[in-house]
Amino acid sequence: MANRQNRKIKFGDDVSGGAVEEAGTMKNTQTKADTKFVGRQRGRIGKAPVTVDFGSDEDNSEEENEKLATGRKPVDIRLIKQKAAKLLPVRESLPVYQVKNELLAQVRSAKVCVLIGETGSGKSTQIPQFLMDENKKGIAVTQPRRVAAINLATRVSEEYGCVLGREVGYSVRFNNVSNRQTKLKYITDGMLLRELMLDPLLSRYSTVIIDEAHERTILTDLLLGFLKDLIFNKRADDEFKVIIMSATLDAERFSQFFENAPIFFVEGRMYPVERYYLGQPVEDIVDTVIKTVVQLNQTEPTGDILCFLAGQEDIDRVVDTLNKLAPVLPKEAPILVPMPLYAALPSHVQMEVFRPVKANQRKVILATNIAETSVTVPGIRYVVDSGLRKVKVWRHQLGLSTLLIAPISKASAAQRAGRAGREAPGKCYRLYRETDYFKLSDNTEPEILRSDVISPVLMLKKMGVNDILGWHWLENPGRESLVAALQQLYSLNALNDRGQITELGEKMVVLPVAPHLAAVLIRAHELGCLGPVIDIVACLSVDNLLMSPPSERRDEVNERRKDTCKLGTIYGDLLMLKELFDLYISLADNAERKEWCKQLCINFKGFKDVLRVRRQIAEYMGMLKMHEGDGSLDAKLVLKAFLSGFLTNTAIGMPDRSYRTVATGDLVSVHPSSLLFGQRKPAIMYIEYVYTVKGYARAVSMIELEWLQEVAPHLLGSREKIN
């Protein structure tokens, strides 16, 4: 350990002069110096200080918002107006306010415009307000994340001086704090897509603003595609306008997509961040992060440190080592307080990063990509960037996903560095060489290129697009991927043999789950087992519901799960979820539920989400006139319902105890987290197929060969051909 501390890490100089690098690469008339803005930041707007969604807290505030909106809580409108008046000078100091008139002129003169605004420009809060007076109908501003939509709406309603949910409101899953009179609505892009499915003309709106377009989520890409149709064809009237807001360079692409829409720039408010690179590449990234942190702790003045690492495993290792190291480090330097930050952590542990530390301490936050966009931690002056991230890649040829460690893009590196310059000038230590930096791709590959596109294709079909391959995709996912999606949808009976959407497909598209699971729900209704299937689908919809126990508790927890779930032990993980759901419901109070979750290593907050999802699925099924019956639980019937959606995810037991997929004959192994691990069944069905060290089936259930013969004799036939 001592040796480790002695060897210093050498960083080169900040070669490029210190400005946040978006400036240098931007195709902009501004000079670098213009954008290297330094100044007092009065009232940070837009990304409000509290930007983390920690479940239960947010529940409360949303409920309260609803009360406000429906007027159940008495409000003093005079106070609200007073507060708004106080906020006006803050608004007027924002960069975007300085160009208000130019900007309005621009928007008036074009049907579509692209607006590049750097962090802190105030674009997301101010521009929609500028437009409120001149819009006959509503303005929708999309956000990729729920919390962002809620925070923006809350802030803007204060600035505007209204009760949240009246003139200014928001709409996100599980919460609609708006009414028909709402003039300005912040909305997740998923919700706007839903609205589009129900009202293809978006007739309630005269302006749609797509914010954070540079993030290139699948849903943003799709919205832009549909908006192109609207703006140039179905709603070519002067009334309808589209504004695309982006924080980075992709402007040219958006502009071209919308037939050379004008581009407008607004400068932001970022402090300069000096960047340092390594002289030599490193082998052990965990070790290098630790050395860098220890070293900069001894040489740099106050300010917290944010480190970006690829995933949980590396983060936990750094946290452990720093905890051991902290007491033996030189006493002159601040005491290091390491804190992990990744999505799978329980919310109270995530919250720790907002806790202030003592004067003689220094926070070191070890984070995944979650800190790049979703969570903004105040007080960061130093960023340590491993240059790595984990990315889930879908292989449509194999129908499986893999989780890979990959280098980040230049845009992502800039975003990470920028986290050090939000409140004061900062420093960023990149744990790679500058030559490696230059080799990085400019932008992160759009999500749609590495995901399965079954759901997007179904949406296109719903919107009446016949030529999927030739559609004006912002980013075409490619022929193979699209054909695979079409085939999947055809085999789910969502499309007929002429490629048109079926009645079943129309129903599937409105359900808030993946098409496979939507098919299962509808089939379950036909079979008369909708109730239990909704329970299970709701469980499957929640990430990290069953957590993996720490290694020392592994065997104990596995045994306890088996003891608790008798049906699960026979039929597999889907029935296990149903049993766990029923048990959870049957427990008297939250204290008891919490203890029970702990024993079985179940995410307590996750189960609360399950109940919320369950309620919503039941509600949507009700809208489709499909209601739950009240029959008793029939395990085999439930599994048959699931089989209708997961026919291709089946495998047959071989004499050597392995399983081979029915469709292709590939080898699959039951994941050791499954209750069926180590058991031998004639055939299995699984919800997910992931490749790590080998192909693993997850969420596994047993099926009978006869069921396959009944439902899909063609599949069994094709396998014989292969063999």
Partner DNA sequence: GAGCACTGC
**Residues of the shown chain interacting with DNA in the complex, contacts defined by CB under 7 A:** 53, 144-147, 172-173, 188-191, 194, 217, 219, 311-313, 342-344, 368-370, 374, 389-392, 403, 455, 512-514, 541, 543-544, 548-549, 551, 554-555, 558, 671-673, 677, 690, 692-693, 696, 698
CB of 110 to DNA, least distance (A): 29
CB of 194 to DNA, least distance (A): 4
CB of 605 to DNA, least distance (A): 13
Q: Cβ closer to DNA: 676 or 708? A: 676
Strand, coil or helix: 128: helix
Residue 697's H or E segment, with its range, is: strand 695-703
Q: C-alpha distances in angstroms, 202 versus 140, 194, 274, 625?
A: 10, 10, 45, 25
The identity of residue 201, as a single letter, is L
Give the count of beta carbons closer than 10 Å to the beta carbon of residue 69: 21
CB of 191 to DNA, least distance (A): 5
Number of Cα atoms under 13 Å in the Cβ half of residue 190: 15
CB of 511 to DNA, least distance (A): 7
Q: Cβ closer to DNA: 112 or 534? A: 534
Q: Cβ closer to DNA: 344 or 424? A: 344
Beta bridge partner(s), residue 307: 366, 384
Q: How far apart are CA 25 and CA 465, in angstroms?
A: 37
CB of 266 to DNA, least distance (A): 25
Q: Cβ closer to DNA: 9 or 459? A: 459
What is the maximal distance between C-alpha atoms in the chain?
78
CB of 554 to DNA, least distance (A): 4
CB of 571 to DNA, least distance (A): 19
CB of 700 to DNA, least distance (A): 12
CB of 2 to DNA, least distance (A): 31
Residue 596's H or E segment, with its range, is: helix 590-600
Joined together, the tokens standing for residue 299 give 């040489």
Q: Cβ closer to DNA: 692 or 723? A: 692
Beta bridge partner(s), residue 268: none
Q: Cβ closer to DNA: 10 or 657? A: 657
Joined together, the tokens standing for residue 365 give 């936050």
The identity of residue 206, as a single letter, is S
CB of 551 to DNA, least distance (A): 4
Q: Cβ closer to DNA: 294 or 602? A: 602
Which has the closest alpha carbon to 519: 568, 578, 458? 458
Sign of torsion over alpha carbons 416, 419, 421, 425? negative
Residue pair 547/556 in contact (Cβ under 8 Å)? The answer is: no
Strand, coil or helix: 364: strand
Beta bridge partner(s), residue 700: 686
Backbone phi, then psi, for 514, in 5-degree steps? -60, 150
Give the count of beta carbons closer than 10 Å to the beta carbon of residue 248: 20
Q: C-alpha distances in angstroms, 659 versus 569, 636, 649, 667, 695?
A: 18, 21, 12, 6, 11
Tell me which residue has tokens 């006959």.
136
Q: How far apart are CA 21 and CA 224, in angstroms?
A: 27
Q: Cβ closer to DNA: 510 or 637? A: 510
Q: Spell out the residues 6+ positions from residue 337 whose beta carbon is closer than 8 angstroms to its own.
A: 326, 357, 361, 362, 363, 364
Burial (CB count within 10 angstroms: exposed 0-12, middle 13-18, buried 19+), residue 371: buried
CB of 146 to DNA, least distance (A): 3
Which has the closest alpha carbon to 39: 116, 88, 94, 115? 94
DSSP per-residue letters across 255-298: HHHTTS--EEEE------EEEEEBSS--S-HHHHHHHHHHHHHH
CB of 693 to DNA, least distance (A): 4
Q: Cβ closer to DNA: 379 or 515? A: 515
Q: Cβ closer to DNA: 554 or 560? A: 554
Burial (CB count within 10 angstroms: exposed 0-12, middle 13-18, buried 19+), residue 94: buried
Q: Cβ closer to DNA: 594 or 612? A: 612
CB of 651 to DNA, least distance (A): 17
Please list the helix, strand and coil fractions of the chain in percent, rounded to the nearest 5, in that order. Answer: 45, 20, 35
CB of 78 to DNA, least distance (A): 34
Residue pair 173/78 in contact (Cβ under 8 Å)? The answer is: no
Q: Cβ closer to DNA: 422 or 671? A: 671
Q: Cβ closer to DNA: 36 or 145? A: 145
CB of 496 to DNA, least distance (A): 23
Q: Cβ closer to DNA: 154 or 541? A: 541
Q: Spell out the residues 6+ positions from residue 621 whose beta carbon is closer than 8 angstroms to its own.
A: 511, 521, 525, 530, 534, 627, 628
CB of 220 to DNA, least distance (A): 10
Tell me which residue has tokens 């209601």.
627
Q: Cβ closer to DNA: 112 or 153? A: 153
Joined together, the tokens standing for residue 42 give 């009065």
Q: Cβ closer to DNA: 399 or 512? A: 512
Q: How far apart are CA 641 and CA 516, in angstroms?
A: 11
Sign of torsion over alpha carbons 65, 581, 644, 648? positive
Q: C-alpha distances in angstroms, 402 versus 15, 258, 271, 483?
A: 37, 34, 38, 20
Q: Cβ closer to DNA: 8 or 392? A: 392
Which has the closest alpha carbon to 99: 266, 220, 235? 266
